[in-house]
Structure 1
Amino acid sequence: MREYGNFLRKIFTKVDRVPLDVVRRYQDFYSALICDVLGKHQVMHVDLTPLSPGMRFCGPAVTSLGPDLTVRRMAIDLAEPGDVLVVAAGGVRDYACFGDGTAQRMMTKSLAGAVIDGCVRDAAGIRRLGFPTFCRGVTPRNYHYPAAGDHGAVNVPVVCGDVLVEPGDLVFGDDDGVVVVPGAMAAEVADEVADRLSAERAQRGSWTDYPPFAVEEELVRRGYDVQ
């Protein structure tokens, strides 16, 4: 935990969130296009996937450092409707640190979803709830709490799925994975994604017959022998 330095055991109650009107602009986007606009960066590790197909979320990040239950509960208490809980649990697969009880409580608070850089349990219960949950896997074994309680923090910068997440950053998840949009860039990125999405829909909507890719000339230029 050395990389977190003076952030350990810090609880920050205030978060500079991406404005709601900007968050709403992302509702019709998809992660691959956001990733393209971000230059293929800001994508969490491929192992962080939705617990069920079709799960998706979009909202400002509330961060919880470490797997400890009490620290995570503090983060949830501080979260606001529409927030996404980001738990930097170190990618541990041997223990779960999230379950359906927590998911249900988060739903009553209208939170948008959770990203767990580790495993969850009560998978069937979470699926029944339909609460958008992204994780590295599932196991019935959880931690004996407190778990590294002295090494936790709330609403500090964390690394989740190999991506730096600042509190308030926009976190977007769908079937393809999780993308993090830095808060300061969220409005600008939304403009670019919207333009590309509009062009993409117009192009694909014009296809009535098969549109050839017409790549033969390029392949010949690159040295391919087309016979």
Structure 2
Amino acid sequence: MKEYGSSLRKIVSKVDRPSVDTVRRYEDFYSALISDVLGKHQVMHVDLAPLSPGMRFCGPAVTSLGPDLTVRRMAIDLAEPGDVLVVAAGAVRDYACFGDGTAQRMMNKPMAAAVIDGCVRDAAGIRRLGFPTFALGTTPRNYHYPASGDHGAVNVPVICGGVYVEPGDLVFGDDDGAVVVPRALAAEVADEVVERITAERALRASWTGCPPFAVEEELVRRGYSFQ
């Protein structure tokens, strides 16, 4: 936690979020195209994956630094409906720091998802709830709380899944993984994604069979020989 310095033991209650209309625009998007628009950046580590196929979400980030239960509960109390809990748990796989009890309470709020840079437990219960949960894996062994003592914070910038996340950034997840859109770019990125989706759908609608890719000339130019 040394890299967080003065952020430790800080609880920030005010979060600037993208507009509700901006968030809603992302509902029909998919992570791969968002990543393309962002130049292949802002994608969380490949191991940080949905607990079940078909889980998807989009919402502003509320951040919890460290795996401590009390700190995480404070983040949830400060969250608004539609928010995504982003827990920077240090990529520890030996202990879980999230379970189905917390997931149910978050659903009741209702929050959009939990993204845990660590492990979860009660996986079957979370799957029954259908609450979108992205994590590094599962283990039945939980932390003894308080975990990390006072080395935590709420709504400070964190690193989660290898990506820098500020409170209020837009977090999107689907079967391919999770991607973070900086809050200041959320509307602009949405505009470009819409343009690309429109063009992509028109192109695919024009396909009536399997036309050749016609890549021979390019391969020859790159030095390939045809036998």
> Do the structures match in fold with TM over 0.5?
yes
TM-score (norm 1): 0.99
On the 8 A contact 1:69/1:146 being kept in 2, the answer is: yes
1:40 Cα deviation from its structure 2 partner: 0.4
DSSP-derived class of the 1:186 partner: helix
Write the distance in 2 (CA, Å) between the matches of 1:154 and 1:19.
21
Alignment of 1:92-111 (within 5 A): 92-111=92-111
- Does 1:55 find its partner at 2:55? yes
Q: How does 1:61-72 map to 2 (within 5 A)?
A: 61-72=61-72
Q: Deviations over 1:165-195 (max 9, x none)?
A: 0000000000000000000000000000110
* Equivalent pair of 1:71/1:149 in contact (CA under 8 Å): no
For structure 1, the residue ranges without an aligned partner over 5 or more in a row are none
In 2, Cα distance between the equivalents of 1:210 and 1:159?
Answer: 43
Shift of 1:205: 1.0
TM superposition score normalised by structure 2: 0.99
Task: Tell me how far apart the structure 2 counterparts of residues 84 and 149 of structure 1 sit (CA, whole Å).
Answer: 24
- Detail structure 1 runs of 4+ shifted over 3 Å in the superposition: none
Give the structure 2 partner of residue 123 of structure 1: 123
How many residue pairs get matched? Answer: 227
**Residues 1-227 of structure 1 mapped to structure 2, 5 A cutoff:** 1-227=1-227
Matches of 1:131 and 1:102, distance apart in 2 = 10
Structure 1 CA distance, aligned partners of 2:176 and 2:35?
10
Q: 1:149, CA displacement in angstroms?
A: 2.7
For 1:54-102, what per-residue CA distance to the aligned partner results, in whole angstroms no more than 9, with x for missing partners?
Answer: 0001000000000000000000000000000000000000000000000
Separation of aligned partners in 1, 2:20 and 2:161: 25
SS at match of 1:27: helix
RMSD: 0.5
Q: Percent of pairs identical after alignment? A: 84
Q: Which runs of 5+ in 2 are unaligned?
A: none
Distance 1:125 1:111 in 2: 17
CA deviation profile, 1:93-126 (whole Å, cap 9, x unmatched): 0000000000000000010000000000000000
Distance (Å, rounded) in 1 between the aligned partners of 2:114 and 2:200: 30
Contact kept, 8 Å, 1:121 with 1:139, in 2: the verdict is yes
